Structure 1
Amino acid sequence: MKITFSPPQDDAVWGCTYQHVTSSAADKNIKLCFVEVKDLHAFATALVEVVLDNSWITNLDDRYRRAYSKTVSQTAAKLVNTFNKTASGGNVESDFGETMVSMGSSRALEMLFTHLRIPLAELWKPQISQNGGFDFHTTCLEKFINFGEAKYSSSANPYTDAISQAQDFLNDDKHLRDAPDLENLVDKQSMSYLDKDDFGVIAAFSVNAQKPELILANAFLAAQEMMKVKKIKNFYLVGVR
């Protein structure tokens, strides 16, 4: 399998570059991209601004606004503390690393595939720290909701962990368990597709290998295997370095 990278697209605000990645294997429903964080301080600063932006809550009706406000304030404080520590110290710890992969991936999908980013799941789920389901979500131009799972390692390339975790979550219907909250965050057409079991999956993972093309090729093959047993409209693979 031949893996080809497009020229990098710069994002000075987030301190990143993004690249489309294409595979010689003919499977148009598996899409790949690669993110490289060039400026960790800029990236962490951008995350603070995203987390503190509560404009999405103001668009909700009073009942849901009251329900989400406490969770958002508690979680945002925790995340901002983590982001600021990274911005000042320049070190990627595990808590920041997984959020870096999640939000870097959703930003890349926004920039490269015109996805809409949905507020980070940790902001609207009821506990500050949990492994209760998918880490992040987007909607694509086709209006499908895409359920994202992120895995970070300081030394490995955990694409198998991200893909297998996503499959486990689907087996446990955790994408459907997100539906009552997503109903407030996406449009009606996206929810109607989900009701018909039409949705996408994102597997996002850190890349530490010298040759990321090898990691993305292996991730592509693993995604193909998962799509043989799961009804998934699109499978997005995002490597983050």
Structure 2
Amino acid sequence: MNKFERNAITLLDQIVSTKSGKRTETLLYPKSDDLYLGWMYVVGRHFRDAFDIKYTTKRKNKKEIKVWTQGSSFSVKEGYLFKMVNRPDWMLQVIGATPATPAGNNKERDKGSVTYQHIKGNTREKKLYTVSQDEFIRTIIAGERPLHVVSFEKVCNNDFNLCPDIAVYKAHVRLSEINEQAVEMINVVSDTSWLNELDVIDRLSFEARAQKTIEKLVIDIFQKVNNQATEEFGEYLISHTASRILATHLNHTTIPLAEILKEKVTGNPGFDFHTESHTGYVAFGEAKYSGKKNPYQDALGQIVDFITKQKDLMELRTLKPFVSDLAISNAANNAKAYIAAFSVNAQSPDTIFGNALASSFTKQLSPQKELYLIGVEIDA
């Protein structure tokens, strides 16, 4: 990210977070430039209204003067085309949009929406992406983020005839820069600082178990990634992503990858990953990856099967050093959480989430305390 992009992102974060909707005289980009080339995508004079850069009246020393000001009423519109600075044949085509509205008068900010598609040379991708106006402006400034949370929300149980007591959340995540994701995963699994928190017996035991598995994951899988998610790497990537999202959005406590904690070197049947939820439940996660399908049924069905086989109870001894006494006590009283994480390869991810929530497997899981559905789009 260059200094122009960095400065614009800092200002963007400031103006969209203000509760008063007050305008500033610091602009996202220079008002006078016909074409501004300091960002990832070309903007300029013709996009000033869309970026809420306006010539406004201001009182100064008891006089009215005209000044250029910056607001957050972004209004990127259908038909707009944004060309990449360094590759002008790569573009973002806006297919539909609703404007953003600043916070004020006791109302929260409405971030609006932008639906767009990629054009890469002679190729126009069929897949449509929908983000807020704020996120689209961020994309124009600095490009799409390697990890972007499109949405994260609590589900209304009545809409899907789920038990009223279960808390259900769904998250839609988009990943890119697969090589960068692989490097991060190498750093995460290679970091064994969690061993320092254990007592001496647990530390020696887990250290002996983890060493060979970490070497195998790094050398045989993560280091062989070439900007493409293979089936084997894909499931680890989805597990890692789901844990990260739950940690950042709901303050879950992450636990080292299940593969590292088990006695067998990779391939051990059981849940793929775990967290402790913000409410004190052990969350058992299952990840499924496909480069073409939307394997939510596979993830949910596997969870139901593992519960039937009591795999969750079998894993409690291994998990005990990493979760609170409350979480263990809850699990012993059959109060647990489950995470179904899966790849999304559909033009309408919302339809996939709707189908997953209406699944018979979800109905079977609704007597549980918590359920999380994490759908991950992977753009190579």
Q: Are the aligned partners of 1:6 and 1:20 in contact in 2 as well (CA < 8 Å)?
A: no
CA distance in structure 1 between the aligned counterparts of 2:214 and 2:278, rounded to whole angstroms:
29
> Within 5 Å, which residues of 2 pair with 1:5-44?
7=132, 15-18=146-149, 19-21=151-153, 23=155, 26=158, 29-44=167-182
> Within 5 Å, which residues of 2 pair with 1:1-241?
7=132, 15-18=146-149, 19-21=151-153, 23=155, 26=158, 29-81=167-219, 82-86=221-225, 89-222=226-359, 224-228=362-366, 231-241=367-377
Report SS of the residue matched to 2:373: strand
The structure carrying a bigger strand percent of its residues is 2
Q: TM-score, normalised by structure 1?
A: 0.89
CA deviations 1:148-205 (Å, max 9, x no partner) are 0011111110000000000000011110101111111111111111111111000010
Q: Are the aligned partners of 2:155 and 2:168 in contact in 1 as well (CA < 8 Å)?
A: no
Matched residues, percent identical? 32
Q: TM-score, normalised by structure 2?
A: 0.57
CA deviations 1:34-77 (Å, max 9, x no partner) are 11112212211111111011111111111111111122111111
Q: Which runs of 5+ in 1 are unaligned?
A: none
Q: Per chain length, whose mean CA-contact separation is higher, i.e. which structure has more relative contact order (CA < 8 Å, sep 6+)?
A: 1
The structure carrying a bigger helix percent of its residues is 1
Distance apart, 1:227 and its partner CA: 2.7
CA distance in structure 2 between the aligned counterparts of 1:54 and 1:175, rounded to whole angstroms:
24
AA paired with 1:204? A
Q: Which runs of 5+ in 2 are unaligned?
A: 1-112, 114-129
Report SS of the residue matched to 2:205: helix
Distance apart, 1:22 and its partner CA: 5.3
Aligned pair count reads 232
Distance apart, 1:93 and its partner CA: 1.0
Q: Are the aligned partners of 1:30 and 1:220 in contact in 2 as well (CA < 8 Å)?
A: no
Report SS of the residue matched to 1:92: coil
CA distance in structure 1 between the aligned counterparts of 2:376 and 2:187, rounded to whole angstroms:
20
AA paired with 1:140? S
AA paired with 1:91? Q
CA distance in structure 1 between the aligned counterparts of 2:253 and 2:320, rounded to whole angstroms:
15
Q: Are the aligned partners of 1:21 and 1:32 in contact in 2 as well (CA < 8 Å)?
A: yes
CA distance in structure 1 between the aligned counterparts of 2:244 and 2:216, rounded to whole angstroms:
21
Q: Are the aligned partners of 1:6 and 1:21 in contact in 2 as well (CA < 8 Å)?
A: no
CA distance in structure 2 between the aligned counterparts of 1:126 and 1:170, rounded to whole angstroms:
21
Larger radius of gyration: 2
Q: Are the aligned partners of 1:201 and 1:235 in contact in 2 as well (CA < 8 Å)?
A: yes
Report SS of the residue matched to 2:321: coil
CA deviations 1:58-115 (Å, max 9, x no partner) are 11111111111122111111111221221xx212111101101111111111122211
AA paired with 2:376? V
CA distance in structure 1 between the aligned counterparts of 2:178 and 2:291, rounded to whole angstroms:
15
Aligned-pair Cα RMSD in Å: 2.3
